[in-house]
Structure 1
Amino acid sequence: MAMQLRKTLKSFFKRGAKPTESQFAQWLDACLLQGEDGIAKRSTGLEITQNLKISGSLIVEGTFWLAEQTQTASLHTKATQTNGVPNGAVFLYHGQSIPLGYGLCDGKDGRPLLNTPPGGADHLHYIIKLP
């Protein structure tokens, strides 16, 4: 619906016509307004201040912080975050090589045997934090 509203509004401006108040209001309602809709754009990136639901895939290319407060990307906090993961914590991981300090949940050497969800992407594994 938003794409159709966008095309309709653009067509008005191309013709030099004006949309009705109702059409313009529909278009505004279909738009995301950063402050009102809980999105803050900062020099460090976007901050979502309301709940976020992802219905599709989430691919993280970078650091994914599991913390209650914002972390910085300094080496000190990276080391703290890495060392703060408790031994035995299990994660669903996407990648070709398993990170240092983790093992594959393949049922070997005392690790649990966990199968990835059916229909999952290639290189999707359950990994466990090793002691």
Structure 2
Amino acid sequence: MESSLRKTLKSFFRRGAKPTESQFAKWLDACLLQNEDGIRISEGGLEFSNDVTIKGNLKLDGTFWLSADPQIATLLDDAPRSQAIPVGAIFLWYGEVLPQGYELCDGQLGRPFLSPPNKHVNYIIKLIKDGND
């Protein structure tokens, strides 16, 4: 079913109709303008420079990658604190050097075995208890 906004906007451009300035402004405001709205299209896909809110379900047919803000990327390497991540917490991890206090979920030495989703990403588990807990 067509939305009432879409129906209204289309009515501005009926054959023979001459949209007014305010009607044209409404139509323009309803459009996404890539540069102004923080959307960039490249060979790699869409890049949003603003927050994205999804109301409803998000269905993915492919791989979902998360990346940390560079300012908080070292969170797992910071000194432990009482409100830190609990022992046994499991994460997907990408990198070459494991964060301090974490080991791979490789089934060794009592750790669980979780099959890595691909050759670049592994599951890791927190093993060291914070001194402040």
TM-score computed with the length of structure 2 as normaliser: 0.49
Greater helix content: 1
TM-score computed with the length of structure 1 as normaliser: 0.50
Structure label with greater radius of gyration: 2
